[in-house]
Chains A and B, each alone.
Chain A
């Protein structure tokens, strides 16, 4: 891993957190989970799998600290989503649409896991009024967003202009 990569990943995650909490926090219909999506897409890069897990755990922890829910909840969820993504990433290499579908599918698993853990730990802020609609709109929005940003993000992180050219 080149020296610039950790700084790039850190900047991307901070940008994702800020965009998530501001820009996408004001939209009512389009509700992607950008930090979760970045966590999933990091699995497509050449970063070591164990480092990807540690980075996504830290990203989840950052979202936990910004929000009002239980500390460690999103850390586990984002890291688990990244683990599933690492184990299934070959399916995303086929083409852009496959990448989008794969990212949407892993997001769905992440959202379901978040709701399950949130329910187990009594996190009523997660089980708010839009919980059932968000179960579908978040993976759908992440799928569409992945179509757009997945190749660019992988190229930036890997500093490889040829990455994910299908």
Chain B
């Protein structure tokens, strides 16, 4: 065996190991207690501010190369996809004409009844996905930050308007997004006329839909939209599609939902400036989250779900 001539010194590795494990546990406890804010937030923002220019530079060079390599590797698939997309485009154009007709009728009725929109158009910031923190971290890093109007908690959609996730941390030039499939917060959704709760599952792209006070069964293929009861997303954004029929079981329905967005293929996302008044929204002491009640400084349990004050995630 060709062992290398490493210097023989008194081995202090074990005491160092124990010391660092204790320090790590203290840091984790500290982070949980601070709920991700305070010093941790400052440290995180500072590190990301230093690293993000390097990430942007490397992503600028690497992304076109990776896309070209992926394109070359999948050239046969691209031809097939092109044919399918042309067919889908024709179908969509026909649907678009029908929708434009309906929109014109809607405008007419709104004018007749003097209806105004309660909320104006949401501010939208288009951002490039420049990477991921880690192969085991579901988060996405984008190249827009506070200098572009992005704030923690803002909802994120893709270019088709499908729900992606929300901003978890932000620096002046970058932000990290946690997708709904990697979030432990439940999302209030609308399926038909019923309001339910969507939660992520470990190791699966599918999400679990629970409708506690269901009035009718849910059928496969039903569209799942964000609900007006949601404090995380504005209402009416498509989330996914119900995978299996689900019957009523003691006035509740449980089934699985496949989100429309494939996180792995995302290159561009859109961050929504919502709520329109984040200062007053964040100033609320008690936030009625979907299925959870998070009260700053204390822990409570609701009938719908568990409550945590722990940080992270």
Contact = CB atoms under 8 A, between A and B. Distances in A.
B103 interface: no
A21 B131 contact: yes
Nearest to B140: A25
Nearest to B206: A129
Given A57-B24, A121-B32, A134-B135, A22 B62 contact: yes
Interface in B181-196: 181-184
Given A22-B58, A62-B47, A57 B28 contact: no
Q: Tell me the dominant secondary structure on chain A's binding face.
A: helix
A125 B27 contact: no
Contact of A128 (B28, B51, B182, B311): B182
Nearest to A87: B13
Nearest to A75: B24
B183 A71 contact: no
B58 A70 contact: no
Q: Tell me the dominant secondary structure on chain B's binding face.
A: mixed
B52 to A, nearest CB: 9
B55 interface: yes
A44 interface: yes
Contacts of A54: 16, 20
A2 to B, nearest CB: 13
B137 A65 contact: no
A27 B66 contact: yes
Contact of A68 (B43, B59, B178, B200): B178
A131 B202 contact: yes
Contacts, number: 210
Given A57-B24, A122-B313, A68 B17 contact: no
Q: How large is the interface on B (under 10, 10 to 19, 20 to 34, 35 or more residues)?
A: 35 or more
B203 A21 contact: no
Nearest to B26: A72
B135 A31 contact: yes
Contact of A125 (B26, B28, B44, B137): B137
A49 B4 CA distance: 14
Contact of B51 (A23, A66, A72, A115): A66
Given A22-B55, A93-B2, A129-B205, A65 B66 contact: no
Which of A54, A61, A68, A70 has the most C-beta atoms of chain B within 10 angstroms of its own C-beta? Answer: A68
B169 A68 contact: yes
Interface in B284-301: none
Interface in A8-38: 14, 17-28, 31-33, 35
A137 B20 CA distance: 28
B54 interface: yes
A121 B28 CA distance: 9
Contacts of B176: 66-68
Contacts of B47: 62, 65-66
A30 to B, nearest CB: 10
25 contacts: A14-B51, A14-B54, A18-B55, A19-B58, A22-B58, A24-B135, A35-B134, A46-B6, A49-B12, A49-B13, A57-B20, A62-B47, A63-B133, A66-B141, A66-B176, A68-B133, A70-B28, A71-B40, A72-B24, A74-B134, A75-B20, A83-B13, A123-B313, A124-B200, A129-B138
Interface of B: 1-4, 6-7, 9, 11-13, 16-17, 20-21, 23-28, 30-32, 40, 43-44, 47-48, 51, 54-55, 58-59, 62-63, 66, 130-139, 141, 168-169, 176, 178-179, 181-184, 200, 202-205, 263-264, 308, 310-313
Interface of A: 14, 17-28, 31-33, 35, 44, 46, 48-50, 53-54, 57, 61-63, 65-76, 79-80, 83, 86-87, 90, 93-94, 111, 114-115, 118, 121-132, 134, 137-138, 163-164, 166
